[in-house]
Amino acid sequence: MPGVPATFSIGPVSITPATVLAPMAGVTDTVFRRLIRAQGGCGLLMTEFTSSHGIVHSQRTKKSTKAKRYLFFEPDEHPISAQLFGSDPPIMAEAARICEDLGFDAVDINFGCPVNKVVKCNGGSGLLRDLPLVEKLLREVRAAIHIPLTMKFRAGWNDRELVHLEMGRIAEDCGLQAVALHPRTREQGYAGRADWARIGELKAAIRLPVIGNGDILTPEDACRMIEQTGCDAVMIGRTASSNPWIFRQIQEYAATGSCWQPEEHDRHQIMRTYYGMLCDHQAPDTVGKMKQFATYFTHGVRNGSKLRAAIYQSTEAARILDLVDEFFLEPATAAA
């Protein structure tokens, strides 16, 4: 079975290895991205998907907004791409210029989000029903920036309205440097199976690098997607939330056919590290993030529900750090 490629390029930007952290709302902020980078094996980081209108409004008013916070990144996060959503071409072009000025290595446009409040505004996967607008938007953004432009999209609105091949051709015609396909439809949401055959169809239809996304739960899945579709890179989303070592595992598995598996003390350390980074970052939602990631990081941990329950009831970051230490160190203390 062929492994995940050692590298691929998005225009002049080399991505090594050929793995990408998917943009995830409420997850891929600067703290989580740096945690992922520190574990090794992730070639490209992406921001949370960010409103183009929010970015432009923040720039024009000089106010600190949620959109502006989403675009904060540290120097050690390169290469990093800013992901934008919206449906107004001039606004999207201006937002992309702002991202270029901020030092991002690339800009990505979201045509995949299935969430109702985004779709109702004709953003995300809502635009899959208006391909002329997709083309207009891409052309204006491509003309506005010098850094690479990519896009992430779903296969279509539903199984009767598949547009992944048309979207790929539009991207190629508009001068994009790569595309990422999540082969579910908007109607599917995150249910059912991601039909990898659609990724293969897209790869065969266009010359651009194709990044495959969807249902990669293990390193074996990543290699199998490459084998079955011929895609140039893999993008990991929800799996990385509960297994931040997945990129390291993919790299090891591709090289040797086996990979390291985390033990209980590794989960203790990753929670301790991430929670400490949150405290250092001094974000206003630190305690909320701790509770959110308790769900992810205790996945598969024996008696993890007890730790989650205790964390959910806590209101102070310091107390949550103590609870994590008490939970993981208690068995060792008892054994001694």
Helix (H, G, I), strand (E, B) or coil at 187: coil
Facing residues of 290 across strands?
none
- Number of residues written out for the chain: 336
Q: Are 135 and 153 in contact (CB under 8 A)?
A: no
Helix (H, G, I), strand (E, B) or coil at 106: strand
Task: Measure the CA–CA gap between 172 and 35, rounded to whole angstroms.
Answer: 34
Tokens of residue 299, six digits: 């996945």
Q: Using CA atoms in the order 222, 223, 225, 227, what is the torsion angle rounded to 10 degrees?
A: 170
Q: Are 164 and 183 in contact (CB under 8 A)?
A: yes
Query: In angstroms, how far is CA 234 from the centroid of its own chain?
Result: 11
The DSSP element (H or E) to which 171 belongs, if any, is: helix 164-173
The alpha carbon dihedral of 239, 242, 247, 251 has a sign of: negative
Facing residues of 161 across strands?
none
Within 10 A of 144 (CB to CB), how many other CB atoms are there?
A: 18
Cis peptide, bond prior to residue 79, ω within 30 of zero: yes
| Known active-site residue 113 | yes
Task: Measure the CA–CA gap between 92 and 85, rounded to whole angstroms.
Answer: 8
Tokens of residue 90, six digits: 């001039």
- Residue labelled with tokens 């992901």: 83
Among candidates 176, 178, 179, which has minimal Cα distance to 164?
A: 179
Q: Which of 113, 223, 231, 259 is catalytic?
A: 113
Residues carrying an active site annotation: 113
